[in-house]
């Protein structure tokens, strides 16, 4: 009997290690593909909107970019619960990640067609398919990660995985810039698809995972009646707002300041390098020194860096501010997700992650709708100021996260 238990325990541990390695490799190639594309796809959508959306211009380019992400996050909010309950729960985690790669590839292909035909319609099609891909990928990824890590090493495990994924991205923006300048955006999007398919290969070596809990709109409503979960949803929304404004709106400001694709590639590579180094170092402290004050320092440092962005006027200043921000971001991000994954562990981890993805998307839809209204009502100058205020408010709300009791 003891021998049987010992063998079972050994097999589970060996499978867990294999699953973790699969996640590492998948994350590495997927993030590499996105690092090639992400900042340039934002510039591409903005420029297409600046040339063709509602008569063109910087304001209309920004409005078109925001509308693109409204479709993307709106798709996530509407479909994530249905996809989790009717697809992921039936096909398992491995096939779900493969589905996400296929759907995201269609999104990248739609961006390539948008470049070929200079078509706004293909942009919205790309947003829709990428939104479906987000539902399949992140629900599965976070649930697998939560189930496989040990509570005692959550911080170091998350930090190591995050840093490993970012290390592969450091040179990707420079390569992406060169490809865009020489071959155009469409070549960049097609190469991104290749890396997506490479990231799917480890999934064939994972076991078939099944979860034991179901999700529904009714359960989401029941969870939302609890004060602790409402507080959690606000912290999730605040974190998502701060991160996404930095990822999808700030690059437009940098592009308008720098004016070249090559400069954008250099900027993004420097930021990723500092982010990977800081994340790995700080994550080593979480498991032994998970002091709330370190997260507070990180959040208020983020806020300070956001207000500093109002005054930047050159590439060197942008890199200086963003590198400083990555130090504070590594503090706030590592501790936020460390607490979050502790909360997620348990027999209802799947439900927790699905509702987490929903609340992220829900709050982002509200925020982007507000920013769109501000842009058309008050113009660009007020828009940038409101963006800084909203990002700072989002960073503050992330402090509402509570450690697992």
**404 φ, ψ (degrees, to nearest 5):** -65, 135
Place of tokens 């920004």: 62
Q: What is the pLDDT of residue 107?
A: 94
The domain segmentation of the chain, as residue ranges, is 16-400
Quote the CA–CA distance of 230 and 234 in Å, as a whole number: 6
Q: What is the pLDDT of residue 149?
A: 61
Residue pLDDT, tens place only, 359-395: 999 999 999 999 999 999 998 889 999 999 999 999 8
Place of tokens 């694709």: 261
Q: Judge contact between 186 and 116, C-beta under 8 A.
A: yes
* b/e sequence 19-55, b meaning 16+ C-beta within 10 Å: bbebbebbbbbbbbbbbbbbbbbbbbbbbbbbeebee
Residue pLDDT, tens place only, 212-221: 578 889 998 9
pLDDT cut 90: percent of the chain above it: 27
Q: What is the pLDDT of residue 207?
A: 63
For 308, residues 6+ apart whose C-beta sits below 8 A from its C-beta are 321, 324
Handedness of CA 371, 374, 376, 378 (dihedral sign): negative
pLDDT score of 34 more than 50: yes
Quote the CA–CA distance of 332 and 222 in Å, as a whole number: 29
For 2, residues 6+ apart whose C-beta sits below 8 A from its C-beta are none
Lowest mean pLDDT segment, chosen from 79-83, 153-157, 267-271, 298-302: 153-157
The band of 14, judged by pLDDT with boundaries at 50, 70 and 90, is: very low
The band of 163, judged by pLDDT with boundaries at 50, 70 and 90, is: low
Lowest mean pLDDT segment, chosen from 7-11, 29-33, 378-382, 394-398: 7-11
Report which of residues 354 and 343 the model is more confident about: 354
Q: What is the pLDDT of residue 15?
A: 47
Q: 275: which 2 tokens? A: 């982010």
Q: What is the pLDDT of residue 46?
A: 94
Assigned superfamily of 16-400: MFS general substrate transporter like domains (1.20.1250.20)
| SS3 track for the chain | CHHHHHHHHHHHHHHHHHHHHHHHHHHHHHHHHHHHHHHHHHHHHHHHHHHHHHHCCHHHHHHHHHHHHHHHHHHHHHHHHHHHHHHHHHHCHHHHHHHHHHHHHHHHHHHHHHHHHCCHHHHHHHHHHHHHHHHHHHHHHHHHHHHHCCHHHHHHHHHHHHHHHHHCCCCHHHHHHHHHHHHCHHHHHHHHHHHHHHHHHHHHHCCCCCCCCCCCHHHHHHHHCCHHHHHHHHHHHHHHHHHHHHHHHHHHHHHHHHCCHHHHHHHHHHHHHHHHHHHHHHHHHHCCCCCHHHHHHHHHHHHHHHHHHHHCCCHHHHHHHHHHHHHHHHHHHHHHHHHHHHHHCCCCHHHHHHHHHHHHHHHHHHHHHHHHHHHHHHCHHHHHHHHHHHHHHHHHHHHHCCCCC
pLDDT score of 76 more than 50: yes
Quote the CA–CA distance of 110 and 169 in Å, as a whole number: 23
Residue pLDDT, tens place only, 91-109: 877 788 889 989 999 999 9
Radius of gyration of the chain (CA): 21
């Amino acid at each position: 009997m003891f021998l049987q238990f010992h063998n079972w325990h050994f097999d589970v541990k060996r499978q867990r290690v294999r699953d973790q390695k699969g996640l590492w490799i998948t994350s590495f190639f997927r993030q590499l593909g996105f690092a090639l594309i992400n900042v340039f796809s934002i510039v591409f959508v903005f420029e297409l909107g600046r040339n063709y959306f509602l008569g063109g211009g910087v304001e209309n380019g920004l409005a078109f970019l925001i509308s693109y992400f409204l479709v993307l996050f709106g798709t996530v909010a509407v479909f994530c619960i249905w996809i989790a309950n009717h697809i992921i729960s039936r096909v398992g985690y491995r096939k779900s990640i493969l589905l996400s790669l296929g759907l995201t590839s269609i999104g990248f292909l739609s961006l390539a067609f948008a470049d070929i035909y200079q078509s706004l319609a293909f942009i919205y099609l790309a947003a829709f398919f990428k939104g479906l891909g987000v539902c399949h990928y992140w629900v599965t990824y976070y649930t697998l990660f939560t189930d496989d890590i040990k509570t005692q090493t959550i911080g170091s495990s998350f930090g190591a995985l995050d840093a490993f994924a970012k290390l592969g991205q450091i040179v990707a923006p420079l390569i992406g810039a060169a490809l865009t300048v020489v071959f155009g955006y469409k070549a960049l999007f097609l190469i991104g698809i290749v890396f997506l398919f490479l990231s799917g290969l480890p999934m064939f070596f994972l076991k078939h995972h099944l979860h034991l809990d179901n999700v529904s709109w009714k359960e989401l409503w029941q969870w939302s009646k609890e004060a602790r979960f409402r507080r959690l949803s606000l912290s999730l929304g605040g974190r998502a707002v701060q991160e996404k404004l930095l990822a999808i709106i700030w690059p437009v400001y940098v592009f308008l300041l720098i004016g070249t694709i090559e400069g954008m590639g250099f900027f993004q590579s420097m930021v990723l390098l500092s982010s990977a180094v800081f994340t790995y170092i700080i994550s080593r402290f979480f498991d032994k020194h998970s002091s709330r004050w370190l997260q507070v320092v990180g959040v208020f440092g983020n806020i300070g860096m956001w207000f500093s962005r109002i005054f930047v006027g050159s590439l060197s200043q942008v890199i200086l501010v963003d590198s400083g921000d990555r130090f504070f971001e590594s503090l706030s991000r590592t501790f936020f997700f460390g607490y979050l994954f502790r909360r997620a562990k348990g027999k209802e981890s799947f439900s927790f992650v699905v509702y987490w993805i929903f609340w992220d998307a829900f709050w982002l839809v509200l925020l982007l709708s507000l920013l769109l209204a501000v842009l058309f009502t008050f113009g660009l100058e007020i828009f940038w100021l409101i963006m800084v205020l909203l990002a700072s408010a989002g960073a503050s709300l992330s402090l509402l996260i509570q450690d697992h009791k």
